[in-house]
Amino acid sequence: ALGILQELNSTDPQMRLLTKDYSGLGTLVESMGGMTNGTEDKYWQYKVNGVMPQIGAGQYKVKTGDVIEWNFSKPDNTIN
């Protein structure tokens, strides 16, 4: 899933994608479009087909038909 964002970042200068590697989780989005994790307690989160994967976007392998949604919001305390 992260590879798709990286491709978009290379063609859209407004995106300004920044990532960070975390042991055990992989590569996570730290900032995109000027919105940085921790601002107003909001963080970049992604869902695939309406479910939040329990791995970093750098580890998720996109399959044909997957719908990926990125949100900059306060963490949801429920696990899907």
Categorize the per-residue pLDDT at 80 as very low, low, confident or very high, splitting at 50, 70 and 90: very low
pTM over 0.85: no
Question: CA 24, CA 28: separation in Å to the nearest integer?
Answer: 11
CB atoms within 10 A of CB 77: 5
Rounded mean pLDDT, 26-36: 92
What distances in angstroms separate CA 7 from CA 1, 3, 4, one per listed residue?
10, 6, 5
* pLDDT tens digits for range 39-74: 999 999 999 999 998 888 888 999 999 999 999 999
Residue 25 pLDDT exceeds 70:
yes
Q: Which helix (H) or strand (E) holds 46?
A: strand 43-48
Asked if residue 79 has pLDDT above 70, the reply is no
Q: Residue 77: what pLDDT?
A: 62
